Amino acid sequence: MRAKRHRLDLDDDDHRLLLAVAAQFGLSQSEVTRRLIRAALDVGPALSQDNAETVAELSSQIRAVGRNLAQVVKAINEGRAVRLEDARPIFEILHRRISAVDGELTNMTLAYGSGLRRAAKLGTIELGSVEQPA
């Protein structure tokens, strides 16, 4: 049975990307598209609106921490040396926010990335190591 053909409309930039990916992996444009569609089924929740909102919120928190850190560095550069004890609350906030971001992104990766790695026969991720497939 011959596969039915379907049309896919892409703008010039996306088409150039498709050509580049096909060339990089030695696949046809159709095969690249099929693989992306199939992978999207496994990735679906990772692409959800909830996760996009979570990443946006975490990005906002990181920017806030960056501003706080920039203020500390500015004070040091201006000769208004900040005592470590005075800066400690900012560094503790920085550490908590970075840990929260790391935790959220790790959860997203572990929840959906492991399934993708298994489907691609790349092995699973075990807290900083990669198991090779059997």
Residue 36 shares a structural domain with residue 94 = no
Q: How many domains does the chain have?
A: 2
Nearest CA among 29, 24, 50 for reference residue 112: 50
Residue 98 lies in a domain: yes
Residue 89 lies in a domain: yes
Residue 82 shares a structural domain with residue 126 = yes
Q: Answer whether 0.85 is exceeded by the pTM.
A: no
Q: Which domain holds residue 20?
A: 11-46
Single-letter residue type at 27: L
What's the distance, Cα to Cα, between the start and end of the chain in Å?
Answer: 34
Residue 68 phi, psi (nearest 5)? -65, -45
Residue 32 shares a structural domain with residue 55 = no
Residue 93 shares a structural domain with residue 103 = yes
Nearest CA among 115, 99, 96, 100 for reference residue 45: 115
What tens-digit pLDDT sequence spans the chain (134 residues)?
677 888 889 999 999 999 998 998 899 999 888 888 777 665 555 556 666 677 778 778 778 878 888 888 888 888 887 777 877 887 888 888 788 877 777 777 666 666 656 666 655 545 444 444 44
Specify whether the CB–CB gap between 111 and 117 falls below 8 A. Answer: no
Residue 122 shares a structural domain with residue 90 = yes
